[in-house]
Each structure stands twice: as C-alpha cells, then as structure tokens.
Amino acid sequence: MVVTWQSSDRHRAGILARGNFSLEAGGMVNLLLALAFVSLCLAGILAFQGYWPILLIAVIQLVLVAWILVRTWERTWVSESIEIDADKIRITHQRHRRKRRYELETAWAVIELKQPEVAWYSPRIQLRSRSQVVELGSFLTSEEKHELVRHINCAVEKHSAIKGAFNS
C-alpha cells in the first residue's frame, strides 16, 4: 500500500509504503486453530486405524502452514516513510520496533527500477544519491513498486540537478 501527501506550498512531499495483509492477529490464530482441529481430527481417525504416519505428516503440514502465515503476516509490520524536500530525502525503514534512517541529497537522487534476472521475481527499487544506495519497498508487490517509483520520480524531479533522468 502506497500513500502520498504534499505540503501546501508543494515544496515537501511524503510517501508512506506499508505491507498489505488483511488478516489480523486474532483472525490468523482462529484460522490456524480451525486448520489444526480439522487436520488433526482426520489424521487422528486414520492413525487410529493403523495409518499412524498420517499423524506425523499432518503435524508437519500444520507447522509449515503456520510458518508461512506468520512470515506473511510480518509484512504488515514493515513500513517505509519517505520525506522529500528541496535539500534532503529522509527515509525511515521500520520493521517491528527497529528503525533504520537514511538521509540522501535530493539534488543528486536517481531512482532505479531494476528488473529481476528471473522472470517471476519482483523488480527491485534503488534510490541513489552520490555514493549512497538505499533499496526501497522490498515488501511491496510488483504493481505497488511501480507506483512507488512513479511517486518518488514526481517528488524528486523538480529538485533534481540531474535533468532528464526521470523519464519513466
């Protein structure tokens, strides 16, 4: 999810990029409990009839599904706040309670959308300014990454010393 704002004098712009996963913690726990109940009941019935390896396979399956859901749910905790003004680009990357902050010069900023070598991978966004390189939006979908690049281009190009670098 990409949300933008702009100051009334149009000299400052802000972009907030967040992960998008609609299931809340309580809903995820309920889903996992329902899956566990159904899977373990069916596997228990089959294990009682002598097919005991089914029970082991059901437990492994539940652990794998829980791990995948939790990893996906973690994306809702990730956000990147990007503030762009005439002098600086301030990026705050937050995951849970950990924050990383970056500051780049707006005049020398170039945004790049790097296409992946493998077709089904998502492209990567890199924001460069002089010798600094920051990867943005690694948790976003491919469409959201394109939207983020478009918003950053619009905000940076009016302050850029590099003319013609923002043709996308």
> What's the average model confidence in pLDDT over 57-83?
89
For residue 92, pLDDT over 70 is answered with yes
Distance, in Å, from the CA atom of 53 to the CA atom of 58, rounded to the nearest integer, reads 9
Tell me the pLDDT tens digit for each residue of 112-153: 998 888 878 889 999 998 889 999 988 888 899 999 999 999
Tell me the pLDDT tens digit for each residue of 93-113: 998 778 999 999 988 898 999
Residue tagged 């990026």 (tokens): 91
Distance, in Å, from the CA atom of 149 to the CA atom of 145, rounded to the nearest integer, reads 6
Are 94 and 132 in contact by the 8 Å Cβ rule? The answer is no
In which band, very low, low, confident or very high, does the pLDDT at 165 lie, cut at 50, 70 and 90?
low
Are 106 and 92 in contact by the 8 Å Cβ rule? The answer is no
Predicted confidence at residue 166, as pLDDT, reads: 52
* Residue 62, C-beta contacts closer than 8 angstroms, at least 6 positions apart: 32, 35, 36, 39, 40
Note the pTM of the prediction, 2 decimals. Answer: 0.70
Angle in degrees, CA 80, 84, 19, rounded to 5 = 15
- For the chain, give the mean pLDDT: 87
Q: The tokens of 114 are what?
A: 């790097």
> What's the average model confidence in pLDDT over 49-69?
93
Q: The tokens of 127 are what?
A: 């924001």
Q: Report the 3 state secondary structure along 105-126.
A: ECCCEEEEEECCCCCCCCCEEE
